[in-house]
Structure formats: structure tokens, C-alpha cells
């Protein structure tokens, strides 16, 4: 059984943007003392040094000290690097440790097949973790207990909201929330382009678009908020909003979004099959 996080040690394998965001959140919210956090990566020593300087954590260029010290291992590497990492830590990870994977498209069975008997939780945060506004979906492996899930939840709450889902819907989660920020950025780009083409400066168009999005998202985050009702309130019959929404629907706006999520989910499933 993994120890309580606040009295345990967390080790990050991988020192990229997601590891950086998680460490910042964990340290910043006081979830774990910085001296109880380790990090290592394969080759980017300046990146590793940067984590040590920014957050005061422990770093190592090799994995054995981190594997020995850690109660929880967060594997934050690119999916293509996961087979190599699993091969390196195979036999060194103990059954009293918890492994949390944030490698998109790598199913639990692939990880559990290499780390037999080790509790594994799969996590799908998104890039908004960088500003502690992510939503993370967690899926438990066969050996993971409620306590392991609680520990995982506590850690990922450092960067936003946390939900628990069955792994068989993780591809859809990836398509919607993992890839979703890119859809939003593309929508903002289109709003800015429309504004500038019609006479706004790019700076003003960006301010208007971004803060409009922030305000709408905050309204949706209120208890009992309903997007259909909120849209109805701002859409007067025959008004400007109605004219704009009609243009979007005439060009297949909702259908395009659904197709984007569908294709992303299909690609996530393909990646999971490739990584099985």
C-alpha cells in the first residue's frame, strides 16, 4: 500500500512541460515538500537543472536513486519513449510503489504487462495544467486500490479538476479534453482574424476574443449552469447573435466539432493499439 502523499516521495521520470506544471502545482499548493520530489530525464540536462533551480527539488541524471527513493512514480514521457522507459524500470519498480502514467495513447495493459503486480493509474491531463486549470481523467489499473486512486487524485488536483473514468472511454476523453484546447485556440484565432479583417487592431481583437472566452467559461463553471440556457439568454430573436449563430450552423459548425472529436478519438484508439 502506498504511503500518504504528504509523508511520501514522488519521482518524475521525464522533465518536460507536464512534469514542470505538476511540480509547480504540487510545490505551490503545499501538497508535498520540495525535498520529497525527485525528477530525472533521459538527456536534457539543462531542463533538469531548470527544474531544480525553479522549485528546489532533487534531480538525478540516472534512474536508480529516484526509483529507490520514490513511493509514487509519475511517468511523464512522450508515448514513443514509453517502451524504452518501461524496459529500463522493469524489475526495479516495487509492488509497494504506485506508477502513474501521463503518456497519451499508452493503455494500462501495456504498462501492467511490463510492470507485473505494480499498481498503475493512467492519467489524461491537458496543457492547461500549465496554468493550473487542467481537467484530468484518471483510470485505475487492475492492481490499483481506492487508496492509490485517492493519492493520484490529490496529486493532479494541484493542476486543476480531477475525474475518474473507466479506461474504455479514455480515447474519447483524450479527443475531447486532451485535444480540446487546440480546438479552442483555433476558434480564438478565427475570431481574431475576423475582427482584424473588419477593422480592429490585432491587439484589440485578441483582448476581446480571449476575455469573451474567459467570461463565458466562468459562467459555465457556475453550479447548475446550462450552456443551452446561457446561449438562449444572449440570443435575441432577429438580433446580432442570432445572425452570427445562423452563419455558424449554415457552415456546419456543430457537425465540424463532432467530426473533430470523432477523428481525434479514432486516432487515440489507433495509438493505443500501436502501443499495446
Return per-residue pLDDT of the chain as tens, 276 residues. 444 455 689 999 999 999 999 999 999 999 999 999 999 998 888 899 999 999 999 999 999 999 999 999 999 999 999 999 999 999 999 999 999 999 988 999 999 999 999 999 999 999 999 999 999 999 999 999 999 999 999 999 999 999 999 999 999 999 999 999 999 999 999 999 999 999 999 999 999 999 999 999 999 999 999 999 999 999 999 999 999 999 999 999 999 999 999 999 999 999 888 887
In this structure, whether the domain defined by 180-271 belongs to CATH 1.10.3730.10 is answered with yes
pLDDT for the residue numbered 7? 65
> Do 125 and 134 contact (CB within 8 A), yes or no?
yes
pLDDT for the residue numbered 142? 96
Q: How far apart are CA 133 and CA 177, in angstroms?
A: 12
Q: How far apart are CA 265 and CA 259, in angstroms?
A: 10
**What's the pTM?**
0.91
Q: Range(s) for CATH 3.40.50.720 in the chain?
A: 5-167
pLDDT for the residue numbered 174? 94
Q: How far apart are CA 76 and CA 22, in angstroms?
A: 10
pLDDT for the residue numbered 122? 97
Query: Can you read off the three cell numbers belonging to residue 103?
Result: 503518456
Report CA torsion sign: 89, 73, 163, 21. negative
Which CATH number is correct for 5-167, 3.40.50.720, 3.40.50.300, 3.20.20.70, 3.30.1360.120?
3.40.50.720
Instruction: Give the rounded distance of the alpha carbon of 114 from its chain centre.
Output: 23
Please state whether 139 falls in left (phi above 0), alpha (psi between -120 and 50) or beta.
beta
Q: How far apart are CA 144 and CA 171, in angstroms?
A: 20
Q: Range(s) for CATH 1.10.3730.10 in the chain?
A: 180-271
> Do 113 and 18 contact (CB within 8 A), yes or no?
no
Amino acid at each position: 500500500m502506498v504511503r500518504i502523499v504528504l509523508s511520501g516521495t514522488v519521482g518524475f521520470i521525464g522533465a518536460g512541460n507536464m512534469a514542470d506544471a505538476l511540480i509547480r502545482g504540487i510545490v505551490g499548493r503545499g501538497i508535498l515538500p520540495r525535498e520529497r520530489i525527485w525528477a530525472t530525464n533521459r538527456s536534457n540536462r539543462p531542463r533538469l537543472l531548470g527544474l531544480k533551480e525553479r522549485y528546489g527539488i532533487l534531480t538525478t541524471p540516472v534512474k536508480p536513486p529516484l526509483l529507490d527513493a520514490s513511493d509514487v512514480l509519475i511517468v511523464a514521457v512522450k508515448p514513443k519513449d514509453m517502451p524504452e522507459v518501461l524496459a529500463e524500470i522493469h524489475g526495479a519498480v516495487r509492488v509497494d510503489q504506485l506508477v502513474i502514467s501521463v503518456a497519451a495513447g499508452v493503455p494500462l495493459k501495456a504498462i501492467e504487462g511490463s510492470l507485473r503486480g505494480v499498481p498503475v493509474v493512467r492519467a489524461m491531463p491537458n496543457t492547461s495544467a500549465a496554468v493550473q486549470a487542467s481537467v484530468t481523467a484518471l483510470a485505475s489499473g487492475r492492481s490499483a486500490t481506492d487508496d492509490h486512486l485517492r493519492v493520484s487524485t490529490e496529486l493532479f488536483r494541484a493542476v486543476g479538476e480531477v475525474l475518474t473514468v473507466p479506461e474504455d472511454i479514455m480515447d474519447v476523453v483524450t479527443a475531447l479534453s486532451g485535444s480540446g484546447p487546440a480546438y479552442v485556440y483555433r476558434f480564438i484565432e478565427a475570431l481574431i482574424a475576423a475582427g482584424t479583417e473588419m477593422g480592429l487592431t490585432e491587439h484589440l481583437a485578441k483582448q476581446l476574443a480571449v476575455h469573451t472566452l474567459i467570461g463565458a467559461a466562468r459562467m459555465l463553471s457556475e453550479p447548475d449552469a446550462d450552456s443551452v440556457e446561457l446561449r438562449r439568454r444572449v440570443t435575441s430573436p432577429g438580433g446580432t447573435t442570432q445572425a452570427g449563430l445562423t452563419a455558424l450552423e449554415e457552415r456546419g459548425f456543430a457537425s465540424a466539432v463532432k467530426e473533430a472529436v470523432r477523428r481525434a478519438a479514432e486516432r487515440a484508439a489507433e495509438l493505443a493499439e500501436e502501443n499495446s
